[in-house]
Amino acid sequence: MTSQAIDSQVNTNEVHQEKDFSEFRKYAETHEVLNQATPLENYNAYSSDPILGHWFRTFSQSLAKANHAFDSNEKKCWEYGKCVGHELQSAGFLANKYIPEFLSHDRYGHRIDQVNYHPAYHQLMATAIKHGHHCLPWQSNYVNAHLIRAAIAYLHTQADPGSGCPLTMTFAAVPTLKKQPNIAAEWLPKVYAQHYDPDNKPFFMKKGVTIGMAMTEKQGGSDVRANTTTAKPLSKRGPGEPYDIVGHKWFCSAPMSDAFLVLAQSKGGLSCFLMPRWCPEGEKNQFFIQRLKNKMGNLSNASSEVEFRGALAWMIGEEGRGVNTIIDMVSLTRFDCIMGSSALMRQGVAQAIHYARQRKAFGKLLVEQPLMSNVLADLVIESEASLALGMRLAFALDQPEDAEQQMFIRLVTALGKYWVCKRAVQHTYEAMECIGGMGVVEETVMPRLYREAPVNAIWEGSGNIQCLDILRAMNKQPEVLDVFMQNLSQAKGSDLRFDKLLTKLKTQFKDVQHAEFNARRIVEQMAILLQASLLLQYGNSDVADAFLNSRLTEASHQYGTLPYGVNAKGIIDSALSL
């Protein structure tokens, strides 16, 4: 056979092989991917959230001195929303997949007490600090700073709640540090700096620092007056002086913070101290991490058990007044719990709506199915009511000279911490169920939201602690209840359903003898009425009407039980603009 004939035969065989392979490939393709949603990514978490924009503008415009100030403030939210919907979203997944790792010693046996985080965690921290998440309200050149920061914290939590913990503690530590001028002068400039430095080195070698908090111990938990950690003066006693701290803390989150506000028993009683991780001489402080907690949620954030074996710390505030000294920090962290739980609800319902707008069942999109639209609208209503309460608190925080606003904060912080944080648990589950089987897949954000939801309800004082705090506030300072009722009365007369429950609430306060037993019932009514009053005065009329129908008159134990006639489509459309 000639070479030409051979070449012809080879070419013929190749053609047959290609044809056979093509036929094989045709049958090897098992299916085409149809009727599946796309991930909610590469979006702006602020501009796609008309509800957040509405409540930000509602409370921000009344305080802004000029339109340009408001526009500049909203621009900060828009910029951070873009970060959250893009690079911080993927960073959140990585930071929760590759969780913190504790190294007690280096390879040569030297004690280092170091917690290593994935680079994505540091990216989350650096971005948030650059945008002022930790310090904005303490910089006097910003109008509506608490409102701006609340919106930024709300957005950040949707990317990653765990990194929000050290950011919150750093933010909340400022009022307590200000109570000790000599300490504040050295530390606050570094707290205010919008520079993140995660290196394990002394605070005086850093441009910016973060502050943690460690109060609870094994034997006491929320009962911090049962603490056994002791503090002895190194020379003189009193505020601003150095002390030697011996003891332990059962929960110490973000243990790589540069310093911690701790409670310890001094000669004069339970006192507050600032404990640096490194001593002023450049030596490691006697602060020893024992282990990291293996938590169900909040995984990107390390929570540790620590011991103090003669650790240096400076007394903050009056001796024996530790709880009073640190209470401002606790109040602000509780405020952030409210914003954080609201953010979990927002992320959950946004994911559910995004999915339902693309997924079909029985010939129609899920979002068009009557029962699903009922569920989604109900989730939107809960999410918006929670956000409204949080933003109203931020509005009050922006008015530190107004005595009535401060009394409002005293009561409503505990109120919101109790109610909003508890509502997030069922809400995140219901949003997960809207997505179906994919809702429990770890590659989605839904399982993370669900595991995270109980955290805010438990940390910084669980439900009973909040209810007892409200009773204590009303007994100790009756005018806080007067201010609260005055705020509710602003909506009186706008809706009969609201007026009836308001009248009922007033009778609840008369049973003083059983107030503690009935505390949860009373606090629930107070919270629902506050949310209703805000929606009636400032909210979407469809949302307000549905809220009153489903929470004040025909309350159900499940989401998706809104009465017929509610504008479900309008409520859903108002929630996600993409």
Number of CB atoms found within 10 A of residue 85's CB? 23
- 491-546 residue pLDDT tens: 999 999 999 999 999 999 989 999 999 999 999 999 999 999 999 999 999 999 99
Percent helix / strand / coil, the chain, rounded to 5: 55, 15, 30
| DSSP reduced 3-state for 255 | coil
Predicted confidence (pLDDT) per residue in 227-281, tens digit: 999 999 999 999 999 999 999 999 999 999 999 999 999 999 999 999 999 999 9
Give residue 199's pLDDT.
96
Is a pLDDT exceeding 80 seen at residue 22? no
> Minimal CA–CA distance to 341: which of 413, 425, 408, 414?
425
Tell me the pLDDT tens digit for each residue of 189-241: 999 999 999 999 999 999 999 999 999 999 988 888 889 999 999 999 999 99
- Is the pLDDT at 318 greater than 60, yes or no? yes
Beta-sheet strands, E only, within 81-148: 101-105, 111-116
Q: Which residue stretches of 106-180 are H helix?
A: 119-130, 145-159, 164-177
Please state the pTM of the whole predicted model: 0.94
In the chain, ranges of CATH 2.40.110.20 domains: 50-320
Domain 50-320 grouped into CATH 2.40.110.20: yes
Q: How far is CA 303 from CA 98, 121, 189, in A?
A: 15, 14, 26
The tens digit of pLDDT for each residue in 131-148 reads 999 999 998 677 899 999
Residues in the chain: 578
3-class state of residue 534 by DSSP:
helix
The CATH-assigned architecture of domain 324-573 is Up-down Bundle (1.20)
